[in-house]
Structure 1
Amino acid sequence: MINFNGNIAHEENTLTQNRAFLYGDGVFETLKIVNSRVLFLEDHYFRLMASMRVVRMEIPMDFTMEYFEEQVLNLVNEMGIAASARARITVFRNDGGLYLPKTNLVSYLIHATPLESITYSLNKASYEVDLYKDFYLTKQLLSSIKTTNKLINVTASIFAHENALDNCILLNDAKNVVEVLQGNLFMLTGKKLITPPVSEGCLNGVMRKQILALAKKIEGIEVLEEIISPFDLQKADELFLTNVIVGIQSITKYRKKEFANDFAHVLVQKLNESISEN
């Protein structure tokens, strides 16, 4: 039995033994589905497999890319939202043990919600960010994968809300820029497009990979993965964040500096073109 909010109840149908709930012992992927198609399926699949290997989960024999795709599409089709949807697949180690698990076998859960837009578009509304300095990300492999331990993102989201910000920029323990709360960060300075390298502790983002590839095809643009300091941000011409759900979100203001969004607009067009071609 358990005590839940002062009430003694049977333990059935609770999360009291779920390791993702108890220890953050889980990894996840957030997907965008358009017209019954999982965008960037291969990139998501291989990142999920790599994440499971990093945390030493046993990968089921039937957990192929085709199986992964089928399970996601079965859900969104059943819900009637396959035209445009967001889905999250969470993989967690099975119950048992304390810090040391009794098994490395896993279970998974897929959750989906509808999205309004099918194509990516650039939101040109005001979007203000600032640094979050209460806690820092570490420069290690675990920071580059999506685990169910996201307390820094949670506390930083509360900080942003309390300070009327749209987002926060996260720093690592060397006080360098890493990413934003929901994705990777890019900075355009002159003809240089710069994003922090994964070695700085940023997420190895699926959309980050797409934007790097697209930008390298644009004549006159030098694409770099380099360390960014907070001081560099105020010298930038454009700042924008990326993730698979929104695509690209321009940042219009960081402290007293305001930014354009011309290059971000070009990238959004090329992103939609690349999706329609595949």
Structure 2
Amino acid sequence: MRSENGALPLEKFLTAVEYLKQVHDLRTLRLAGGKPSISPLFDRLEVALGSLDFEGVSLTNNDQLLSRKVGMLRDAAIKRINVSLETLNPRDFRRIARGGDLSEVLSGIEKALGAGLQLKINIVPMRGHNYEQILLDFCLALGAGLRFIELIRMGHLASDCESFSQQFIGMQKILALVSQRHFFAPLAGTTDATTQRSEIPGRGCFGIIANESAPFCVSCTCLRLTSTGWLYRCLSFSRSRYFCSLLDLPKNEALTAIRESSKRALADKQRQELTGDVLLMKLIGG
């Protein structure tokens, strides 16, 4: 039975996560979707995830509730937080985020770092929006990591090539901008890493998720489970698989069925590069 907004009951969602972890030997989990912490089930979910023994549980969010949730996050399973922040200009922040208070986000970042949580800031640099505001010096001063994320061909940008080209800032442009202020050296990464990391000696690190400039689809190992029970394999492929009805089977049968269903989902990934899709990012959380 589903809730009014279509989300699975918490217990069933946790069972889905547990079974996927067991079937695929998943080691890390990330909660995403823009504003996951506004869910009325969020606090209970965080506590419950601690019992599933993931090596790492992280939260990606762009909401303004972080400052109120820091204590709970510190005591629960989450130890790493990614915060989406496109600018330090209050007026530009309201325009890009379509509302909100920049000071609330900055307060949450400060409190999270003060509580000992690992924190990274994500920025999608876009020409005409925030190209010059790359936030690197701000992050280095805070002791927070920074990830540049290349603009993705999602939603209307999947079909509007002109708008995408006008706004897109690639990895080489980003590196050139950073090099104007800092010397940096690339760091070695794992074979399935989505981020190309570099170190500024004595200061800190930054990374780039280069979806377009250096596609990593062939090595991507991500699975995406929505709160409504749909499994997505790839941001470039809108086909999803609803498998949570399988959870009503006896456990051994459910694990076998989920293994087969998710195996088909794994086959949906792009082989070479992310080609984009009209699927809206907010439906699957990135």
TM-score class, shorter: under 0.3
TM-score w.r.t. structure 1 length?
0.25
Which structure carries more helix by proportion?
Answer: 2
Higher relative strand content: 1
